[in-house]
Amino acid sequence: MNGLLSRQLALFYAYRLFATSYLWVPILVKFRIARGLDFSQVMILGAIYSAVVIVMELPTGAFADRIGRRSSMAIGAGCMTVSCLIAFSSHSFEVFLLAEVFAAVSMSMCSGADSAYLYDLLSAHDRKADYPKHEAIASSFHQVGSAAAFAGGGFLAWNNLAAPYLVTALTATIALALALLMKDEKAFPKRRKRTTSIAEIGRHQRTAVGLVFSSKHLRWTIVYSALVFLLLRASEYLYQPYLESRGFEIWQVGLVFAGVYVTAAVVARLTPTLRRHLGEGRLLALLLAILACTYLALEFAHGAWALGVLLLQAFANGLYSPLVKPIINRYVEESDYRASVLSAESIARRFGIVVFWPIAGSYGAGTATTACGVVGVAGALLLAVVWSITIKSDTPTKAVSRATK
C-alpha cells in the first residue's frame, strides 16, 4: 500500500473514531427527563430526528455526490457541534427539537458520504476489492470511539449531567478538522465532472431512486437493513432506563455501554473472517435472529444474565455495518450515484423509527423493549418468506448501473 493511500486511510479511520463519539448517549434519556421532558417526549424527539433525516437524506446525498463527499463529512461534523451546544443549554421540548434538527442534518450529511468516500478512495488506487476489509476496520474505529465516549460520558454525568454534551462538541470539532485534512475526492481519477445546477441535482436524485427500485436484490437488502437498524438504534433509548431499573448507577450505565461497543468493535474487525467461513446469508440470518430473541429475553433477564443478553446484542451491533454496507455497495456499480443510493437506504432505515417510536414510547420503556422483540420476529418471518427469491448474498450478482442511460 503506497504512502498516500495509507495517510488518507489513517485520516478516514480517525474521522470515524471522532465523528460519532457521542458522550451523551448513555445519559440521553436521563438528561432530557431531568430537563423537564417525559419518556414519551424523548421518543417523539427521536422520531422527529429520523423524520428530518428522511427529508434531508436525498438532497444531502446528491450534495455529497455533486459537491464532494469530504465537504459533506466536514459540514456534518460541524452541525453536530452546534447541536451539542444547543442541547447543553436546553430546558424545553422546543429547544431540544432545534438541537435534534441540527443533529439530523449532521447525520444526513455524513450518512453515505463517508462510505462512498472510502469506496472511491480505494477504487482510485485499484484496491476496490479491499473495501469490505477497510469498512470493517473503519467500523471498529467507530465502535472503539463510541465505547470510550460512553465510558467517559457516564463518569462525566456522575458529577454534571450536561458535561457530556460539551465534550461531544469538542470531538465533533476534531472530526471537522480531520475531514478538511483529507484529500478532496475531486482529485481522484475516474471521476466524472460534476455539475451543481438544481435541475441536474433533481435528475441525479431521481436516477438514484430508480437504481434502488430497479434491483430486487438492492431493494430487499435495504428492507433488511432498515429492520436491523430500527432494533439496534432502539438500544440507545432503552438501555439506560432498563439498566437503572436493574439497579445500575449512571456511571455503571456508561461502562456497560462502553463494554457493548468494545465487543462490537472486535466483532466488526472480525466480520470479514466470519463472512469467509460462514457466508453472508448465514450471517444475515444470525444477526436478525439474535436481535429478535434478545429483546424478548431482556424482560426476564437480571444481573449477569442481563449483561449476557446485552453482550449478544453487541455482537449484532458490530456485525451490522461491515456486513450490510459492502453488499449494498456491491449492487451499485456507478460511483457517481453511490452516496445518493446509500442516502436512500438511510431513508428506509429511518422510516420505521418515525412510525414505531412514538407508539412504543407512549407505553413506557419496558413495553417498548418487548415491542422491539415482536417487530424483530415479525420482520424475520417476512424476510424468510421472500429471501430465497430476492436476496442471494452468497452468489455473485450483477451490480446495478443505469447512470449512463
- What is the torsional sign of CA 38, 40, 41, 42? positive
Residue extents of the structural domains in the chain: 3-390
pLDDT of residue 247 exceeding 80: yes
pTM reported for the whole predicted model: 0.74
Residue 97 and residue 50: Cα distance in Å, rounded? 12
Residue 164 and residue 29: Cα distance in Å, rounded? 13
398, with CB counted inside 10 A (0-12, 13-18, 19+), is exposed
- What is the torsional sign of CA 88, 89, 94, 99? negative
- The predicted structure's pLDDT at residue 383: 76
3-class SS shares of the chain: helix, strand, coil, % to 5:
80, 0, 15
- The predicted structure's pLDDT at residue 189: 52
Mean residue pLDDT across the chain: 82
Question: For residue range 271-307, what is the model confidence (pLDDT) as tens digits?
Answer: 888 988 888 888 888 898 999 999 999 888 888 888 9
Which pLDDT band holds residue 192 (cuts at 50, 70, 90)?
very low
pLDDT of residue 331 exceeding 80: no
- The predicted structure's pLDDT at residue 64: 73
Residues 6 or more apart from 120 whose CB is under 8 A from it? 69, 185, 188, 191, 335, 338
Residue 330 and residue 218: Cα distance in Å, rounded? 9
- The predicted structure's pLDDT at residue 76: 93
* 3-class secondary structure, 68: coil
Grid cell of 393 as nine digits: 448474498
Residues 6 or more apart from 21 whose CB is under 8 A from it? 145, 146, 148, 149, 168, 171
Which pLDDT band holds residue 402 (cuts at 50, 70, 90)?
very low
Residues 102 and 80: beta-carbon distance below 8 Å: yes
Residue 302 and residue 115: Cα distance in Å, rounded? 38
Pinpoint the alpha helices (H) of 35-130: 39-66, 69-88, 93-110, 113-124
| Average pLDDT estimate for 344-352 | 80
Q: Which CATH number fits domain 3-390: 3.40.50.2300, 1.10.10.10, 1.20.1250.20, 1.10.3720.10?
A: 1.20.1250.20
Greatest pairwise CA separation for the chain in angstroms: 60
Please report the DSSP string for 157-182 in residue order: HHH-TTHHHHHHHHHHHHHHHHHHHS
Cβ neighbours, 10 Å, residue 80: 27
What are φ and ψ of residue 346, in 5° steps? -65, -35
Residue 397 and residue 80: Cα distance in Å, rounded? 38
